[in-house]
Amino acid sequence: MDNLLPHYEYEVGLLLRGVAEFARRYPKIGARLGIANGQGDLHVDRMIQTFALLAARVDAKLEDTYPEFTESLLEILYPQYLRTVPACAIAQFDPTNLFGQLTAPFTMQRGTLLDANAAPCRFQTTYDVTLAPLRVHSARFAPATMVPAAVRLPANVSAILSIAFASATPTETFDDAIPSGAVRIHLAGDRARVAALADALQLHASAAFVEVDQSGRWAALSKIPIESVGFGENERLLPKESTSTSDAFQTLIESFAFPEKFDFVDIDLGRMRRAPRAPEARQMTLHLAIRDAPTGSVAAQALRDLDATSFKLFCTPVVNLFKRDATPIQLMTTDRAHPVTPEPLETGTPLDVYSIDAVHLGDRTQSELEKGMPSSAAVSRTTVLPYRAFSHGRKPDSAVAYWTAFRDPHAALATRAPRFSCRSSGWKVTPPG
């Protein structure tokens, strides 16, 4: 309402000037209306003020940064433009207590729900996390002069980046409990070091070698066992939109929203284990020959004090976004809009709405009608299509119902939580069960 005051004052001034000009031009009509010679009628003044209030709402909408037409168009073409990016973080699992019990790697699937201890928030994992009795023993960045004399390096190699993995199994060997495929590593630290480390691993590595138990013998790998992470279809941070958004555009949005999501690499531990043919190995070190990184370069300075703390195992990005049913709404013919309220968490914490994925209509049973209860999930339901969508290529039917949604700031202030309101025609609206 405070934002409406300047528009109201502007409209009142505009109307009063118009009334005075009308009375000056047409004094007889102005006298009959009681607006001549600056003598305003009380009832006329009230009508002017009332109309100014109505006109102020129209003026406010015209000056709105996001008018309804543009908002509706974006909701169809690029709905992610209108949505707030939910909270994101990097979570690390600690399977130390399970090391002695694991006989095979255990994978926590993408989409696992996590509850935060410090705040009543629920997060969802973005990547699969494979738990295994493995740890990063050490890491270092050193000049290329430290390589054994028998190792032949490619041209322009100026540094060696080494990462040592150690087994944490009861036998302290790389047995079946250690993954035979890729191991996901999170590159941790300040942004300058992470950027230099990512460039070194993914852009400047020209050769790879494996050393077993610090023996000094480096076995060359036919392929660099490093792969980028975060660009796959099953590695999205935010849900894929129903519109035809390109993968590059989705990646661009996520890189601006949460760049730490891409601070991961996959290291092919299986290739490292097969190369030296040492089944009883207790420690395996990956040596990467880094080109174009002389001692005085910015990258070399950023990686000068590199150690094992820059490589984190068992990590994944998490996002405060998950599917949740909304409280069923009983539609009344007198209501223009209905608030969409997600069911709160077990702690009673209210939730915000990121998107409405589906709307269904359903009738209530006779017992539910008598008790005033919403319809149960067992009742057959009909899917309602959104009004602003590419789904109107059907024959006209008066029985067809559509829905639209908009954010209501007044409802947000009343409940201290942002709310969606849903306009519809039909019967009962429920989210997908």
Phi (first) and psi of residue 134, to 5 degrees: -140, 150
pLDDT at 287: 96
Listed residue (300, 265, 230, 227) closest to 136, CA to CA: 265
Contact between 200 and 288 (Cβ < 8 Å):
yes
Which pLDDT score, from 0 to 100, does residue 290 have?
A: 94
38: left (phi over 0), alpha (psi -120 to 50) or beta: left
- Average predicted confidence (pLDDT) for the chain: 82
| Cβ pair 426, 361 in contact under 8 A | yes
What is the residue extent of each domain of the chain?
2-64, 88-319, 338-424
pLDDT digits (tens, 9 = 90+) for 339-349: 888 888 777 77
Q: Is residue 177's pLDDT more than 70?
A: yes
- Whole-prediction pTM: 0.74
Contact 336, 417 (CB under 8 A): no
Statement: residue 280 has pLDDT above 70? yes
DSSP annotation of 377 reads T
**Is the model's pLDDT at 253 over the cut of 50?**
yes
> Using CA atoms in the order 195, 200, 204, 207, what is the torsion angle rounded to 10 degrees?
-160
* Statement: residue 126 has pLDDT above 90: yes
User: What is the 3 state secondary structure string of 192-227?
Assistant: HHHHHHHHHHHCCEEEEEEEECCCCCEEECCCCCEE
Task: Using pLDDT thresholds of 50, 70 and 90, give the confidence band for residue 416.
Answer: very low
